[in-house]
With several copies, the nearest count.
Chain A
Amino acid sequence: MEKPEKLIVDGKRLDGRGPEELRPLKIQAGALKRADGSAYVELGANKVLAAVYGPRELHPRHMQQPDTAVLRCRYNMAPFSVEERKRPGPDRRSVEISKVIREALEPVVFTKLYPRSGIDVFVEVLQADAGTRTAGITAAAVALADAGVPMRDLVSAVAVGKVDDTIVLDLTKEEDQFGTTDMPVAMLPRKRVITLLQMDGSFIEEEFERALALAMKGCEQIYEAQKQALKARYSIKPEEG
């Protein structure tokens, strides 16, 4: 990818969006048959699947907790999901992202209801264009709901950043690479509290506060789409029974 001269021209981003606009978003609940719950998210060119198994017996046994379910999370990129083929298997990036996704989801799950059991969340990135961790959280929250796991709230997530000195919502890969700052955020939409917050780059105080507010606004939009997806899933009786 070559660096474009400007990432924002006449107030429009290279893909035509305004600074505070999300990419086209599509969420489907119940995308897979074998998983206890699942969801498929497209956000711009991102294509992400999430699947949930559990609550189920937890192996290995020594990981079982007497007073709570253990939430486990695994984020993975398909080898063909990125420009240069990614070697299969976990790398340092995916290990860290798996951890922050788990910590972003854990506050909404009533883990105490299922002592000794495990709840597994798998996030598979099929096509990547920046923002896969937040798209993964968005998908995982829907998959948890689809699996019938008791939850306090959903979790909605999106990235914000700074590009050509402008605070923008939902960065593309190009904006992530050639912009100044990337900040993924996850929020419990009803309580309006933050469960994921990472940042790389540069923000002064005022920028940070504006960016955080914009992220929360973006999460609200994501939340509406999540609710719609779950409604669509349960309003139509599935053919397969």
Chain B
Amino acid sequence: MYEIISSVKRDYIADLARQEKRADARALDQYREVSVETGLIKSAQGSALVKIGNTQVLAGVKLERVEPFPDTPNSGVLMVNAELRPLASPTFEAGPPDENSIELARVVDRGIRESESIDLDKLGITPGKEVWAVYIDLHVLDYDGNLIDAASLAAIAALWNVKKPQVEGWTLDEFPVLKKPVAVTVVKIGEKLMVDPSLDEENVMDARLTISTLEDGSICAMQKGGVWCLTVEEIKAAYGLARAKAAELREHLK
């Protein structure tokens, strides 16, 4: 996900950060424009297109009947897959998922799974034989930074869009989605923390910390990234930012 960036640009962005400024005139704790459109894809049981600035991620939810895992014979199965499509960026290459798309999928997966946002126990069909699989496919269409937040928001919006799915054999009333975990990524450039990194900011960041929180402010998942360190104080500050910003992003899920 890291792209080649001229050292001039690197210095410029780092300098701005030192002055608590950003190249696109945002405040350090300010997101770019966020939009969430749901239900665009009729061939999916749920879908959402999330834009954060120029970044665009389309999430589709498909329900299919599958065999359960042997240790949870009457629980549904959650599968999250992310595709960094080469149309989205000159640095994305065709081919099997690389470590960036795998990390993206797994971070989104944990945010949903660990918060128990889907009541998988309701998704059994025939114990030991058949259960519902919930496939969440994250299709990255345009990449200008902060994929984790955009993909996480698209995934949860698509899940809440499923409602009463049009799929053969569905007997429940509503699709059992229960919570709204929201991921907020904070990056550190020099000594400064900021939210919603643009691509240029991601390319110069020292480290990032993604924190997924629920409505009550509790954490359900975290993922540090980047090749530098975070102090304990920075981690605590990031958590504060994550809670505040999650509340804002959650407004788009109404």
Contacts and interface: CB of A to CB of B under 8 A. Distances in A.
Interface string B109-128: 01001110000000000000
What DSSP secondary structure best describes chain B's contact surface? mixed
Nearest to B206: A107
Contact of B227 (A34, A107, A192, A205): A107
A82 interface: yes
A122 interface: yes
B165 interface: no
B221 A200 contact: yes
B90 A194 contact: no
Most chain A beta-carbon contacts within 10 A, residue among B54, B216, B218: B218
B28 interface: no
Contacts of B62: 79-80, 85
Most chain A beta-carbon contacts within 10 A, residue among B218, B220, B227: B227
A183 B60 CA distance: 30
B224 A126 contact: no
Contacts of B230: 193-195, 197
Contacts of B22: none
Contacts of B218: 202-205
A103 B141 CA distance: 25
A106 interface: yes
B229 to A, nearest CB: 4
Contact of A201 (B114, B142, B217, B232): B114
Nearest to A201: B114
A63 to B, nearest CB: 13
Nearest to B62: A85
Interface stretch (A11-19, A47-55, A164-172, A223-231): A47-55
A96 B106 contact: yes
Interface in B214-254: 216-232, 235-236, 239
Given A96-B106, A194-B224, A196-B224, A212 B88 contact: no
A78 B137 contact: yes
Interface stretch (B13-21, B39-47, B170-178, B189-197): B39-47
A201 B112 CA distance: 10
Interface of A: 32-35, 38, 45, 47, 49-51, 53, 56, 74, 76, 78-85, 88-90, 92-93, 95-96, 98-100, 102-103, 106-107, 120, 122, 124, 126-128, 183, 188, 191-205, 208-209, 212, 216
Given A79-B135, A192-B232, A195-B230, 5 more contacts: A34-B142, A49-B87, A124-B139, A124-B141, A202-B220
